[in-house]
Structures are given as C-alpha cells and as structure tokens.
Amino acid sequence: MAPSPSPKRILLLTNSEHGQANVFLATAYALLTQETHHVEVHFASFPPIQQFVKSTSHHAQSDNPLSLPIVFHAVSGIPMVSAWSRPETTAERNNLQNFDLFDAIQRMRVLLKVTLPWTGPEFVNIMQSVLRTLSEVEPHAIAVDPAFSPALTALRHAGARFVVLSPNTIKDFAMPHQPNGEALWKYPCTGTPHPFPLPLARVPANIFLILLALLCSALFDSHRRSIQAYVERAFPGAKLTTLNDLSLRPQELGAKFLVANLAEIEFPLANIPRHIVPCGPMIRPALRVQEVDRNLAAWLGRAPTVYINLGTHLFFDEEFAGEMAKGVNILLDHSRSLEWRDLTGRLKGLQVLWKLNNTAGDKEGLKGPWAAVRRILSREMDEDLVRVVEWIEAEPTAVLEIGTVVCAVHHGGANTFLETVSAGVPQVVLPVWMDTYDFARRAEYLEIGRWGNISAGVDKVCRGDELGSVLIDVIVGGRWSVYADNARKLADVCRKSGGGRAIVAGHILGDIEEVDSIY
C-alpha cells in the first residue's frame, strides 16, 4: 500500500484579540473538518489566544477524528491590545470624543495608531518572531490578519505568497475604488457619527476629515516614520505594511482579501474590486449553552430575552450604566403594560441578560456601575427578570443561537454585528468609536435593528429615554416584525454553502491546488 501523502501545512497569522482572531479560529475549524484534504493547521499569535486555539482544535477533532491537532506558535512581543492600552496611549485615545474640526489633526494622528500601537523595537521583535515561524513551518498556504502589521511586513519582506483573512467589511477595503469620488461625499468618514447616506450639509466636513486623514498619514505620522526607520535598519529594503496600505495600495501585494462580509449585508457599492472576495460571516463553532451552563440555559429557555453585551474592552462608569438601566426599565415597564393585550404570549415574562464589566466599582457593588444598575432595577433583579453578570461562560454565539433571544444590544464591533446577523437576531447598536458607527448605520440601513444612542453624540453615554424608546421599537413596537423578518432572511443568506468559514477554507485549499498544478 502506498504511504499517505504528507499533509498540506497552512499557517494562520493573527493578533490575539478576539475581534481579529475569531475568523482565524473559525477558519481553522473549517479546514480541519473538511473531508477532501489532509491538512496540518499552524496557528501563530500571541499567548492570550492559545487556550481558544486548543479548544477549537479539540472541537474539530471531536467532529472529525481523522483531523490533526492545531500546532500553536507563540509570537513573542506585546499583543496589540496591550500596546494600545498603555497609559500614554489611553490618554491620547480619551481625546477622541471631540469632533471640532480644529481638533481633527490630533484626532487623526491618534487614529492612525490603532493598528500600529507598538514602538519600533517592539515591532521589529514581532517581525523576527514571525519570520522564525515562517522558516520552521514552511507552509503551503498562509492567511494573515490585516491588522497584524508586523506579520504583513514580514511576509512581504520574505516574498511569501499569502491571502488576507479579515473580519473587516467590503467597504473597509473598497472605498478608494469607488467611482466619481463617492468615498468623499456618499459614505461617512470612519470614526464619525454622521448618517448614511450623507446629508448635503455634512459633505464638506466629511471631505475635510478624509483628506485630512490622508494628509496626516503622508506628512504628520511621525510614529509610522519612526517604526519604518527601525524596520529598515533591521531588514534593509523592507516596507512597513499596515491596514491603510492594504486599502490604498492593494496592487503592491497581489493578494486576495477574503472578507467576512457579503453584498447583502453591506452598504450599496458601485464597485467591488476583484481582489476583494466576499465570503460571509466566519462564525467560530461553540458549545451549546446547555453543555456549558445548564442553569443559564434553563433561565434563557423560560422567556424571551434581551441580551446585552458591550464587549470585553468597554468599561462602564456609573452614568453610562445608569442611563442604560433606565432604558431597560422603560422597556420592561412598557412590555408589562402590553402583556394583557398580547394574545400570542410573545412578550410574556420578557427578561434581560446583561454582561456588565464592574472594573470601575467595588466588589460588593456598593458603588460603581453595578450600584447604578441596582438603584434602578433592584426589583427586576430580585425577581430574576434581569440578570447582571460580570462573565458568561457560554460563548456569545451560543447565547444568540439558543432561540429565545429577541434582541441583542452591543457596541458595534464587526464580529459581534456579524455573529448577531448570522443568528437572525434583531439588534440595537451603541457605538463608541471608529468603525462601530458604521455597524450602527448598517443595522438601520438593513432594517434589522436600530442605532441606540445616536442623539447622545460621541461622549459614549447613552440616554436612557432614547435607549428605552429604541428598545421598544425593535422588540415590541409596530415594526418589530420587520426587524425580525429581515434578520431571519439575512441569517439564511449567511448560512448558504456552509457559511463564511467553509467558503474561506475552500479558497485557501483551492490556492494550494492551484500552486500544486503549476509545479
């Protein structure tokens, strides 16, 4: 009997933050559970993601006993979120709430550091680690995170062939390719709360901000120039490559961009360049809630539920938490007043699961965000209609897919938005910065939910009366069925052909076959 061919080695390179890494975990699972190829997946990232790589590997092997375990390669250096969360950078980031045009230059300089938060020596150290992994693995195919600038720079310097695997949207990469200057006057500048399509009165300010961003990138980005100097000293001839470069100069890389988006869940675009491949949401498989937390599963199963989760990195102060609690209280009061008229029982026992970080308060909940919530919702919490928790053991996707969640309230992160769309759940988005505004706009444009704090401006504090009104509209108002029906239809679109993760795996394996046919 002829020996089995050696497995094809696939290297996945990503930051360790879930917002970026989840699409890589989903793709790793899809690669290992397909039946037609024998592959060995190598996953290179920073140590914080290693436990999730391990659980994904176990999950894949339980579903396909013939699959090989994922090989994890720890990238040395500081993870992106740790570099971005240093006190000096946090102080700069706190200035992002002002949209006065006179402060725009400082704002743009800070935003340019979002995916480039490292110092020159730190950046070079990460590059060296990536290049060592590349040499050790000798992969047949490579997929890289577009926000992982050291890896992009290393791969480009090494002349490696790769695809970009991104949780970002089609729009994020396609804006420079739109005709008639539409990127300037039709679509709001990233990081601004302007509506879509842009009202005529806001077009001048929008054009100013976009051109200013380009000017800052070209002339005032001393941080980038400093890193470039370190890179050139360590690797003569190397070109620093960032997310901005992928959008503005994709032809220099010659790579396919596999994005977790579809035209059906995107703003209307006149042109989608050929290098951008819409694959759809790449959802990481998760254990069912029943398998992780039976108590929570039983509670969720008893009544329609509003699921509030504003992510891991957003921390509440008392004002923010208090205003949100007012909004929840308005919703629950309104739903109770309607129960006697709800002959279908759809509203009966409406409850709320709220994941609320309590970093700004004490452990006893006597002050801080939890205290603010209890002052307003104490009766509902005592009756177990509102559960406020600091951590939920089950994955967000498992909670969304349990079948009783009637609305998800979140901060507008790309992964969270797409997970919610894939689950067919209407949503209320409370954006706080950068691309989160875009996802609040998408929810409204697609009519699958609402922007929950649009009148609150950019101070990151929602207004209780506004949030309450929006929640009522999405969950119990006259248009609730429109949001619910549209959400279900888009979920069906996202699940076609096995979903985004299966489509991405097919592209990666297809590229390997193409190379094999040449050689």
The 3-class SS string of 256-272 reads CEEECCCHHHCCCCCCC
Question: 337: how many CB neighbours lie within 10 A of its CB?
Answer: 11
Task: Give residue 304's pLDDT.
Answer: 96
Question: 207: how many CB neighbours lie within 10 A of its CB?
Answer: 16
DSSP E strands: which ranges in 229-376?
257-259, 276-278, 305-309, 351-355
Q: Which residue has better confidence, 131 or 211?
A: 131
Q: Contact 409/309 with Cβ under 8 angstroms?
A: yes
Q: Does residue 99 carry a pLDDT above 60?
A: no
Mean pLDDT of 502-506: 96
Q: Which residue has better confidence, 110 or 10?
A: 10
Task: Give residue 2's pLDDT.
Answer: 47
Mean pLDDT of 492-501: 94
Mean pLDDT of 342-350: 74
> In Å, how far are 417, 421, 449 from 483, measured between CA atoms?
14, 11, 6
Q: Which domains occur in the chain, in start order?
A: 8-282+499-518 (3.40.50.2000), 289-495 (3.40.50.2000)
| pLDDT tens-digit readout, 252-285 | 888 999 999 999 999 999 999 999 999 999 999 9
Distance, CA of 38 to CA of 174 (rounded, Å): 34
Longest CA pairwise span in the chain (Å): 75
Task: Give residue 118's pLDDT.
Answer: 95
Q: Which residue has better confidence, 374 or 366?
A: 374
pLDDT category of residue 102 using cuts at 50, 70 and 90: very low
Q: Distance of alpha carbon 246 from its chain centroid, rounded? A: 18
Question: 36: how many CB neighbours lie within 10 A of its CB?
Answer: 6
Task: Give residue 519's pLDDT.
Answer: 47
Distance, CA of 494 to CA of 261 (rounded, Å): 9
Distance, CA of 9 to CA of 42 (rounded, Å): 7
Which tokens hold the place of 294?
């039976």
Q: Which residue has better confidence, 194 or 233?
A: 233
Which tokens hold the place of 462?
């929602």
pLDDT category of residue 6 using cuts at 50, 70 and 90: confident
Burial class (CB within 10 angstroms; exposed 0-12, middle 13-18, buried 19+) of 406: buried
Distance, CA of 130 to CA of 108 (rounded, Å): 29
H or E element: which one contains 11? Answer: strand 8-13
pTM over 0.95: no
Share of the chain above pLDDT 70, in %: 88
| pLDDT tens-digit readout, 224-261 | 889 999 999 999 999 999 988 888 888 888 899 999 99
pLDDT category of residue 367 using cuts at 50, 70 and 90: confident
pLDDT category of residue 113 using cuts at 50, 70 and 90: confident
DSSP string, 412-461: --HHHHHHHHHHT--EEE---STTHHHHHHHHHHTTSEEESSGGGTTSS-
Q: Contact 141/512 with Cβ under 8 angstroms?
A: yes
Distance, CA of 517 to CA of 354 (rounded, Å): 53
Distance, CA of 151 to CA of 128 (rounded, Å): 9
Task: Give residue 400's pLDDT.
Answer: 98
Q: Which residue has better confidence, 287 or 348?
A: 287
Burial class (CB within 10 angstroms; exposed 0-12, middle 13-18, buried 19+) of 390: exposed
> In Å, how far are 106, 227, 451 from 457, measured between CA atoms?
19, 34, 12
Mean pLDDT of 134-148: 97
pLDDT category of residue 515 using cuts at 50, 70 and 90: low
Distance, CA of 404 to CA of 56 (rounded, Å): 26
Distance, CA of 140 to CA of 98 (rounded, Å): 47
Q: Does residue 89 carry a pLDDT above 50?
A: yes
| pLDDT tens-digit readout, 36-78 | 888 999 999 999 999 999 999 999 999 999 999 999 999 999 9
Which tokens hold the place of 285?
């498989």
Mean pLDDT of 442-457: 91
Lowest-pLDDT choice from 34-38, 196-200, 364-368:
364-368
Burial class (CB within 10 angstroms; exposed 0-12, middle 13-18, buried 19+) of 234: middle
Helix/strand/coil (H/E/C) assignment for every residue in 352-369 = EEEECCCCCCCCCCCCCH
